[in-house]
Structure 1
Amino acid sequence: ADFDRPGMDRVRDLVAAGGVDVVMANRWDRLGRASAIEYILEPEFAEHGTTLEALDVPTGDTPANRLHRRTMSSFAEYEREVIADRMRRGRLNKARDGRLIPYTWPHYGFRFVTRYVGNRRERYYEVDPEQMAVVRRIHEMIALEGRSLHGVADELERLDIRTARGGKRWDMRVVKTCITEDVYRPHTREELERFVQAGQMRREVADRLEPGERVGISWYGRRKVSTYKVREGGEIKKRTKSTPRPESDHIAVPAPDSGLDPELIDAARAVVAGNQRTVKVHDRTWELGGGIMFCGTCGRRMATHTPSYKRKSGATVWRFYYRCPEGVRWNYECPNRKNRRAEKVEAEVWDFVVGLLTRPETVLAGLDELIEQEWARLRRAPLGEERALADRLALLDRRRDGFLELAADGYYDRTQLDAKLKEVDGIRATVERELETVRTRGERLTELRRARDEWGGGELMWFRHMAGGDPRGATPEERVRVYRRLRLRVEAHEDGSLTASGVFGEGVEIVCGGNRDSLCFPYKRRGCAP
């Protein structure tokens, strides 16, 4: 579509060097599928005494021949757009029909196999047992052993396990993809109903599943990818830019059952949900960084602050604080401007967690209370509530179509039609919000039940054996692992109090004797040394 191509560059360089009388192409559209040929190439070649010809267009610089070439250029440009649209629609229809769109590389744990359906050649996914065992091991390290994504990548490299392309180095993003991609999580026929109701899967595709059969989901159309060219070091290279598409445009394509346990996958996903890297500054692990400690006023993540001062001996002393990033801006967007001494706050939070986990009945009682609260908010089972709301949306759609048909038959004028449609659209927006709320509560209820089964099934044994039987001597990295498994969220409030939320409950106050001492304004703003 453009002339920024290596082959075209060589031709233009030869013409510019002189001595070229004619540039001949097999077909006119091989020069470029753009109508700009007569505005760019022909004038450029004419300056050097070179003519541009093709075997499928008449020769000679006559008005009729120029019109013919101009028509061929316009048709080539039109044909390029038609081909691109035809390819796009073909892939879209193939995905909607439940057929896999093969990419350059399959998901790790799968491999491509070629089959023939009549005269049509199709590529399908097939489980690679050796690689899928690695995927299962990744989930176990995250969900059961509490390892970080970086720790999993290091372990895979230590075991000399190769990536999908045969590389030695494992990227943490690839490890996370093995956990978050739906192609690894088996779905039952009932679970596919959610995709059918959302318009992401055709009902006839979902009905192909046999009773008891499970499939993974390979998503198509989640991002729009555009390709452009750049010049680097005299070479033309392609770059891509991707933007997310609306969720309504996503298409769920069935994939083979990975054989993994859905509960194991859900547990691993819960661990990495909102996962942030553990913060390390000055060779110090910030135990409450990376999305554990938040400002109780504005909700922002607490940032780290490391001021220093020099003693008379010339030694530099560092101080470590947590503070709200909004509370220290010039306009003080958040009134919570206190700095928390990191050592004291971290000790208080760890003492709270140790005291909590040495009494597992507290965790179980909190989970039971949260489960009862979620059930009380639901009028019926989550799946039944979703179906009822989905049926209501379908009824509103039929009602809207009915108003349009009446208006087309002349029973409503424009003003009456607009009023009716506005009423229906307002009701639909309310129902959609309610449907989203029900889905969120259903997911929350499922997560709480899974956590209740996990903590009630002896999951605390690993904690009791930590640090040689003394959890208070755990390393900062071990403490972070505990916080991740508890889904701990600590909030620091203006009055100096700390509250904690997690699988044990929400808004639990952390009471420590030295709470006030953990609060300290930075000494530079106070005008004194710490």
Structure 2
Amino acid sequence: MSNVAMVALYARVSSEQQSKRGTIDSQIAALKERIQADGAQIVEDMCFVDAGVSGATLVRPQLERLRDAAALGTVDRLYILAPDRLARKYAHQALLMEEFSSCGVQVVFLNHAIGTTPEESLLLQMQGMIAEYERAKIAERHRRGKLHGAKRGTVNVLSGAPYGYRYIRRQLDGTPARYVIELPQAATVKAIFEWVGLERLSLGEVIRRLGEAGTVTASGKPYWDRSVVWGILRNPAYMGRAAFGKTQVCDHQVRVRAQRHSADVPRKPYSAKRADRQQWIEIPVPAIVSEALFEIVQEQLAENRKLARQRRDNAPLRLLQGLTVCGQCRYAYYAKKVSKSAAKGHQRDYAYYRCVGTDAYRFGGERICDNLQVRTDKLDDLVWHQVVELLRHPDRLKDEYERRLDVMERSEKRGFDTGSLEKQRLQLEKSKSRLTTATPTVSSTRSTSSQGCSS
């Protein structure tokens, strides 16, 4: 029988930048070194790593796996670098620690020993609350400092120089940070504004002209995305007034489906939305276009939005619009009506679901996907009839849910080392032996009581 303790580790960093800089690797290395020093071994399946996930929320993919593993009894000892790696909020720390304790998991923090007396436990709780207070105070100071700097007209409070500018840091002689115009990029910006404001071109036509001219983006890509051009046209910095506070934090907004290349579970427990223009703080920077041209472009964009909204309102609704995803490239499918040239003079009342990856103009003139398009009426009817049929037989839904849940549990159990199964068997044997030992005692007690009553 194996008495080897099942060891796990948990590591986390909050941002993608920290993950790329290797701070997550340094955590894992320190944890594995401590595990070896304690004379234990760890398998890869027991390394739970959340890279680029905020510690302010409990909904984290690897933390969920860890909690499931602890509930199954497959973890004896858990190694974590510090309490704030487990959770940022003290309430979450207390909840997780109590949960792990009830599952029989011993938690080991590398930079802080778990208290064995009530006084040490109280000290750990107080340190957690003080740390949470300090983080909130630092964040508030940082916010107020940036707000004060924006009101003084300091550009270093902005996230970075937009396309067409170069950011110059604050010099040692006291010269403040500033934006400097990059002439080649500035010429491109001015041309984009003139194409939309004076020639009234669409964003698609602007992108085609940029591609024909061989103009690359700030990151060096040979093709431009519509959202990039849209962001340039909406940025007031190009008329000489950069804005601080254009976005504000709000409650997390639920999406119909996860975005491509993004996790199913959001890494941040909040969303950002555009703030009212009256709340912006303007910071003077060198202008690339005139204020009059900028306002003309804003009017043209508003007109384009109005026309697009009218076309969208007049277009028939599709059952699976925004829900279908390409199984090959993972881009979304969208509904596109049959063009006049493809209709060949016939009346076509249906449309096609088409993969975004098959649109060459979106990716510099080359397709990245060759998946076929699907007729909207046939796919909608097929899915709708299947949904109606399932709703008529709710037991089938329940059976399928239980089947998938059972498959997930069995696959999760198979993923752990056999030592965990041996541990569970030993626990069951101990429980069985205690039960069989207690049964004769209960019987003898009852017999003695009966004799006492008869006498």
What's the TM-score bracket when you normalise by the shorter of the two chains? 0.3 to 0.5
The structure with more strand, counted as a fraction of residues: 1
Q: Which has the higher contact order (CA 8 A, sep 6+)?
A: 2
Q: TM-score, normalised by structure 2?
A: 0.47
